[in-house]
Amino acid sequence: MDREPKLGGLDERPLSSKIFRGSLFSVLQKVVVGPVYLFIVPFTLARVGTSGYGTWAVFVTLITLGSLLDMGLGSTVTKYIAEYNRKGDLRAFQKVLDSTIAMYLFIVGCLCFVLWAGSSVLVSGLFHDLAPEQISRVTSLWPLLFPIMAIDLITRPFLCVISGLQRTDLTQILSCVNSLANALLVVLFLSFGFGIRGLLLATLASSLLLCISVLMVCRQLLPTFRVNPLQCEVATLRKICSFSLALYVGHTMVMIQNNIEKLLLARFVGVVPVGWYSMASEGASKFRRFPQLLLNPVLAAASELHAAEDEEKMRELYFRCHKYMAVMSVPLIVFGALNANRLVSLWVGPKLTLVAVPFVVLMIGNFVNQLGAPAWCITVGRGILRPSVYAALLTSVLNVGLSLIFIAKFGFAGAVVGTSAAMIVSAVYFLKLTRPYVGVPFHLILYRAYLKPLICSLAAAAVMLLPNLLSHREWVVMMIHVAVFGAIYTAGLLLVRFFDRFDLAKAEGHIPFVRSVSTILRTS
């Protein structure tokens, strides 16, 4: 009889503890890395110039689009690893590992061939407005894309295995180390005058470091498992692909939505507006990603609850996701809209405040789109993909069509309007499609989860609008404004009793100082 493999290093704590730990580390990772990003963008802009930054933004877009080749396998791996771990089906667990790695290796081979064969067409099409000597320089940098995108794809399945084992805390630590290493290398290479080549070399080195680190963590978590792509089974691969390809349609459409306008700007307007749009878009997405970090463990948690057929906890999970997202996202949106000009001026300089209005518009569009994230985690965890696929198709059709029309007519502003409109329409459509599967009407979610944070945020904003309070532009003064806004907002949430007994009980179990706060609230 074959020796039965055993899972090692797995956490047997309750599911709520795993979710809390994963969410906490996700937020801490963003708190650490966020300020680094705020520094790196203006530093890079000062070293490579507006045109160079636009060229780099096109490279980043291509690297990001490389994740399209993930083909939905990442989320599929997370789902099946979580389910098989819950059921204790270790042989199925091993088959998923072997088959997934084999598929990724095949994808990497295809990627490298396409990048090599299509290099001249891609370079001439995306960088057409550059001078001949600049195009020649871009062509010399093109081969660096091969290992960067290949390493990124190879790392993905192992990160998803760690997430499926409900160790999102480890993936966030690895991501944090990778971001810090990348920032350090960017500063080093740019300081020595390497320009865009230095940015690519920094990305390559940090990607390789992340890959090695992820493999080492997987070895510790699964000491008795050995990945062997040659043991790939057709039946397992067919099962994975049947799920992942449907998921891939939605993932592809989202990637197109997030990047097509940059490529259209590069093609019809030039690389400089790509840099402007990239700044506004990245700044807006940061406001979206921070609250959404709370959802990193939710897909695996939903998969576990689906395997256990616990519908009551599934509905509770959906509501709590929205409630905790609202606590973070609503004040961020209000504060960002209130201080858009000052934030942009402090971030990239007063000469680029033209991106402030696009920043606000994209921030609102991202927020509305974010409202569907908890439903996406729940439906995918239950194996229901049709709503996300339909909504993603609608988003992409609208985004490509509207961006193409508006960019051709209005240029930079058209990209902002087209993308935001597509995000808002598709989010509303997606929420309508997922209502039968989440068990809670969305108007109740808006009332129970979002109304009180909105009222408290607007109250804090009203105080910030007092005469001369927002007249200064220094970072220190801005941090004081953040502290004042946060204090007023938090006090408001406590006064309106936004947090219930469930919230306080969970917080008491994980955060010691909350016990004293909850005691005060109960006796008040």
> How much is the pLDDT for 204?
92
C-alpha span between 408 and 402 (Å, rounded): 10
Distances (CA, A) of 59 to 143, 199, 238, 255, 374: 12, 10, 34, 15, 31
Mean pLDDT of 322-329: 89
Give the separation between CA 150 and CA 275, rounded to whole angstroms. Answer: 25
pLDDT score of 469 more than 70:
no
Q: What percent of the chain has pLDDT over 90?
A: 10
> Is the per-residue pLDDT at 5 higher than 50?
no
Residue 282: pLDDT over 60:
yes
Q: In this predicted model, which residue has the larger pLDDT, 330 or 49?
A: 330
Q: From CA 260, how far away is CA 252, in angstroms rounded?
A: 11
Tell me the DSSP string of 415-465: HHHHHHHHHHHHHHHHHHHHHHHHSS-HHHHIIIIIHHHHHHHHHHHHHHT
Rounded Cα gap, residues 344 and 331, in angstroms: 18
Q: Which residue has the higher pLDDT, 407 or 260?
A: 407
- Measured at the CA of 244, the angle between CA 242 and CA 248, to 5 degrees, comes to 125
Contact 288, 13 (CB under 8 A): no
- Residue 519 pLDDT more than 60? no
Half-sphere exposure at residue 146, Cβ-oriented, CA atoms within 13 angstroms: 15
Residue 510: predicted pLDDT: 58
Global pTM reads: 0.62
Q: Is the pLDDT of residue 413 over 80?
A: no
361 pLDDT above the threshold of 80 = yes
Tokens 């990001």 -> residue: 64
Structure-token pair, residue 244:
């992942």
**Comparison of pLDDT for 117 and 155, the residue scoring more:** 155
pLDDT at 188 over 60: yes
Q: How far is CA 233 from CA 1, 92, 398, in A?
A: 20, 11, 39
Neighbours of 515 (CB within 10 A): 12
- Residue 221 has what pLDDT? 83
3-state secondary structure of 375: helix
Q: Are 192 and 37 in contact (CB under 8 A)?
A: no
> 499 by DSSP, 3-state: which?
coil
Region 341-351 average pLDDT: 73
Q: Is the pLDDT at 116 greater than 60, yes or no?
A: yes
Query: Which of residues 124 and 359 earns the better pLDDT score?
Result: 359
Distance of alpha carbon 66 from the chain centroid: 15
d(CA 290, CA 62): 24
Local confidence band at 2 (pLDDT 50, 70, 90 cut-offs): very low
Q: Phi and psi of 187, rounded to 5°? A: -60, -45
Query: What sections of 293-385 are H helices per DSSP?
Result: 298-308, 311-338, 340-348, 356-370, 373-381
SS3 at position 167: coil
| Amino acid, single-letter form, for residue 285 | S
Confidence of residue 212 (pLDDT cuts 50, 70, 90): very high
**pLDDT class of 506 with cuts at 50, 70, 90:** low
Cα(91)–Cα(98) distance, integer angstroms: 11
Q: What is the rounded average pLDDT for all residues in the chain?
A: 78
Whether residue 392 contacts residue 254, with contact meaning beta carbons closer than 8 Å, is answered with: yes
pLDDT at 445 over 80: yes
What is the pLDDT, as a whole number, of residue 523?
53
* 422-448 CB burial, b ≥16 within 10 A, e <16: bbbbbbebbbebbeeebebebeebeee
**Higher per-residue pLDDT: 119 or 253:** 119
Question: Does residue 484 surpass a pLDDT of 90?
Answer: no
Rg of the chain over all Cα atoms, to the nearest angstrom: 23
Cβ neighbours for 351, distance < 8 A, ≥ 6 positions apart: none
DSSP one-letter code for 69: G
pLDDT at residue number 412: 72
Region 77-85: what's the mean pLDDT?
77
The stretch 134-161 carries a mean pLDDT of: 84
Is 364 in contact with 330 (CB distance < 8 Å)? no
Query: How is the chain split among helix, strand and coil, in percent rounded to 5?
Result: 85, 0, 15
CB atoms within 10 A of CB 462: 10
Q: What is the pLDDT of residue 1?
A: 36
pLDDT class of 451 with cuts at 50, 70, 90: very high
Query: What is the tens place of the pLDDT at every residue in 222-248?
Result: 877 777 887 777 888 777 777 776 666
Residues 466, 512 contacting (CB under 8 angstroms)? no
Handedness of CA 244, 245, 249, 252 (dihedral sign): positive
Q: Residues in the chain, how many?
A: 524
pLDDT over 70 percentage in the chain: 77
**Which tens digits make up the pLDDT trace of 453-468?**
999 999 998 887 765 5
Tens digit of each residue's pLDDT (9 = 90 or more) over 6-51: 444 445 556 666 666 666 666 666 667 767 766 787 888 888 887 7
pLDDT of 168 over the 90 cut: no
Model confidence at 386: pLDDT above 80: yes
For CA atoms 367, 372, 377, 378, the dihedral sign is positive
Phi, psi for residue 375 in degrees, rounded to 5: -65, -35
User: Is residue 11 within 8 Å of 170, Cβ to Cβ?
Assistant: no
What pLDDT score does 507 carry? 63
- Tell whether the model's pLDDT for residue 173 goes beyond 80: yes
Distance CA 508, CA 1 (A): 48
Count of other CB atoms within 10 angstroms of residue 504: 17
